[in-house]
A and B are shown apart, each in its own frame.
Chain A
Amino acid sequence: MSSNIRAETTSPDLTQGFTLQGRWAGKSYCVIRLLGSGANGKVYLVWRDQIKVALKLGEDSTAIALEYEHLREVAEKVKIDRIVPELFELEDVTIGGRTYPVLVMEWIDGIHVEEFIHQRGDIWIAVCLWKIIRLIETLHQQGYAFCDVKPANLLFELHDAEPRLIDFGGVTPIGQAAREFTEIYDRAWWGRGSRKADIAYDTFACAMLGLQLAHPIPKGELERLQKKSPIERSAFLDQQLHTSWPQDELRLLLREPLRGDAKLHSLHDALIPLLRGYLNPNGQLKNSALPRKRSRRRFDATDWGLLVSVITFTLALCALWWIGTL
């Protein structure tokens, strides 16, 4: 073997205004800010011409090329907009004398699912889950499993509250071994089946996402489970599914897909009656389903302005009355 496998991933930190020059397509990218870091590198928000795009700066050119390939192939087959982020280019850039592979794609401006639900209320968990499942089903139809289903790989767009998948690094042809996964969303870790990328693998992960949103397992418990065998973890999961949750309908519904061998569409279909239950006959969310935070709106500048003007007005009237009595 000729060259050494790199010892440590150290993709450089880029500051605002730093400009990267693409080697193949000749575009330049001006860094705005860091969006996040993942298993395969760092993602920056950059200017590409006059458009803001996401630029993934990687270490491993094979991993980045594969992510590009999976994205490209899915995008080519699925002729529906907004299933995968729009792809711009696979590039190489040189920083400080070293070449790094980059993937340039659409920037999705959104918030993570936990924050989305925190803003709108727990009633949205089932809705979110249902929308996420629909996205992943389109991937399955193309012969791919998403594998790394977790909050960090999803964003809810601000303007239409629709989920988007943002990290395709874990996408694996159905039937192969899952390459990227996160323990608590991993079926094999919980002793509920193999680590083969199949439909039921994603179903398990989606159901676990529902569980984590509705009735999260404390971090300490997860650390304790790390030292336990999959059989013991499986028993713990059973226990979680047999104590009541704030949203108990959801608990009952997630039991089946968390067995590890359920089809995704059965979870999809099971969610529908629950979603109907939230709607009144006019198709609007019931009162109980409305955002919790509405009654707790904070004072903002307008409120303060109003208060100050009322006080000033009252004082002015008092002053006038006082002048009048002189």
Chain B
Amino acid sequence: MWTDVTLKQILLITDGCSNVGTDPVYVAQTAREQGVTVSVIGILDDGALGEQGQREAENIAQAGGGMCRIVRTIDLSHTMQMVTQRTMQLTLQQVVNKELRQIMGEDSDALPPDVRTKVARMVESGTEEVDLQVALVVDVSASMTSKMPSVREAIRDLEFGLLARGGTHRLVVVTYPGPSGEDAQVLRFEGTSVADAVGALRAAGNTPTGPALFLAVRALRDLGESPATSSVRANPEDREEGRMRHYVV
């Protein structure tokens, strides 16, 4: 039932507060209206995140319908994986809940455990099979410089996680501020991994979070029109999927 579903996510990685351009909370809100979930990872160590930055991170995630996590650089890789995975799972859960409300007038949280486990199974197969489009929005302002190697490896690690899935995926990276004064840029990369392109970044300048998010929404929209890179589908359990569909309808 999930094979023609595409999920779109934006994951913002920052250690500071926006200081120029459109309000990022507003952009997150419009992204959500277009079916794109926005989650935020705020990096704590020796950055300029502060109380204000943390509040902004939470507000962006709240407006974007996603999750917010404030972590140390060392936990970045694991957190990126977890947030992507959990966001996907919870978005699918919301799709299922919507259907359930139409059929039974109930959320899955209100269902008895034996029915709920069946719904959980359906979400499990969904997280494996849906087509996923992720835009990573990476803050590369001066305070991020020392964290760039960790960010690069965390992105590479995220790619490993995406590659292991059955469904297709697309990954774009938007960095901000841009290298020659512009607000943000979509990273172009030649070669096998986006992460290699991130390594070459020179961090500097302002923190135009809003315009960067805006660019990410547009990049995701453009992706919708180009064909996805497909990873090998391992052992699709069509039989089980059929059973689940039967259950819902």
* A residues with CB within 8 A of B: 1-8, 24, 39, 60-63, 65-66, 68-69, 72, 89-92, 99, 101, 173-179, 183, 188-189, 194-197, 223, 226-230
For chain B, give the interface size range.
35 or more
A-B contact number at CB 8 A = 125
Closest chain A residue to B69, Cβ basis: A8
For the A-B complex with A1-B32, A90-B113 known, give 17 more contacts whose Cβ atoms are closer than 8 Å.
A2-B94, A5-B86, A7-B61, A62-B119, A62-B120, A62-B123, A66-B124, A69-B120, A176-B166, A177-B128, A179-B85, A188-B160, A188-B164, A189-B77, A195-B160, A195-B164, A227-B150
**Which residue of A is nearest B195, CB measured?**
A229
User: How would you classify the secondary structure of chain A's contact residues: helix, strand, loop or mixed?
Assistant: loop
- A5–B237 Cα distance when bound, in Å, is 28
Q: For A229, what are the chain B residues with a Cβ–Cβ distance below 8 Å? A: 153, 156
For A177, list chain B residues within 8 Å (CB).
Answer: 128, 161, 164-166
Specify which chain A residues have a CB less than 8 angstroms from the CB of B21 in the assembled complex: none
- Give Cα A39 to B75, complex, Å: 13
Complex partner residue of B93 from A62, A176, A188, A226, CB under 8 angstroms = A62
The CA-CA distance from A119 to B93 in the complex, in Å, is 46
**B112 touching A24 by the CB < 8 A rule?**
yes
B117 touching A68, Cβ below 8 Å: yes
Chain B proximity of A227: nearest CB distance (Å): 4
Residue of A nearest to B234 (CB): A175
Q: How far is the CA of A188 from the CA of B165 in the complex (A)?
A: 13
**In the complex, residue of chain B having the shortest beta-carbon distance to the beta carbon of A230:** B156
> Are A176 and B65 touching (Cβ within 8 A)?
no
Neighbour of A194 across the interface among B58, B78, B163, CB < 8 A: B163
Residues of chain A lying within 8 A (CB to CB) of residue B180: none
Q: Are A66 and B157 in contact (CB under 8 A)?
A: no
**Are the CB atoms of A226 and B116 closer together than 8 Å?**
no
Question: B94 contacts A3, CB within 8 Å?
Answer: yes
User: Which listed residue, B150, B164, B237, touches A226 by the CB 8 Å rule?
Assistant: B150
Chain B residues near A4 (CB, 8 Å)? 62, 65
27 residue pairs from A and B, CB less than 8 Å apart: A2-B94, A5-B86, A5-B91, A7-B58, A8-B68, A24-B113, A61-B120, A62-B89, A65-B116, A66-B117, A66-B121, A69-B121, A72-B117, A90-B113, A91-B113, A101-B109, A174-B235, A175-B234, A175-B235, A177-B165, A179-B85, A179-B127, A188-B164, A194-B164, A195-B161, A226-B77, A228-B153
Distance (Å) between the CB of A189 and the closest chain B CB?
7
* Interface 1/0 per residue, B111-142 and A, CB below 8 Å: 01100110111011001100000000000000
* A196 → B minimal CB distance (Å): 4
Q: Measured between alpha carbons, how far is A223 from B153 in the docked complex, in Å?
A: 12
Bound together, the chains give a CA A60 to CA B78 distance in angstroms of 18
When chains A and B are docked, how far (Å) is the Cα of A270 from the Cα of B237? 34
In Å, the complex CA distance between A23 and B69 comes to 31
A61 contacts B153, CB within 8 Å?
Answer: no
In the assembled complex, the Cα of A223 lies from the Cα of B86 at a distance in Å of 25
CB-defined contacts of A197 to chain B, threshold 8 Å: 164
* Residue from A5, A68, A183 in contact with B90 in the complex, judged by beta carbons closer than 8 Å: A5
How many angstroms from the CA of A158 to the CA of B208 in the assembled complex? 57
Note all chain A residues with C-beta closer than 8 A to B87.
5
Q: Is B149 an interface residue (CB 8 A)?
A: yes
CB distance from A26 to the nearest CB of B (A): 12
Any A CB within 8 A of the CB of B66: yes
Task: State how many angstroms separate the Cβ of B110 from the closest Cβ of chain A.
Answer: 9
Q: Contacts of A174 on B, CB cut-off 8 Å? A: 235
Nearest opposing residue in chain A for B92, CB measure:
A62
Chain B residues with CB under 8 A of A226? 74, 77, 150, 153
Instruction: Report if B108 contacts A (CB, 8 A).
Output: yes
Q: What's the least CB distance linking A102 to chain B, in Å?
A: 10
Distance to closest chain B CB from A10 (angstroms): 12
State whether A65 and B94 are in contact (beta carbons under 8 Å apart), knowing that A6-B67, A7-B62, A195-B164 are contacts in the complex.
no
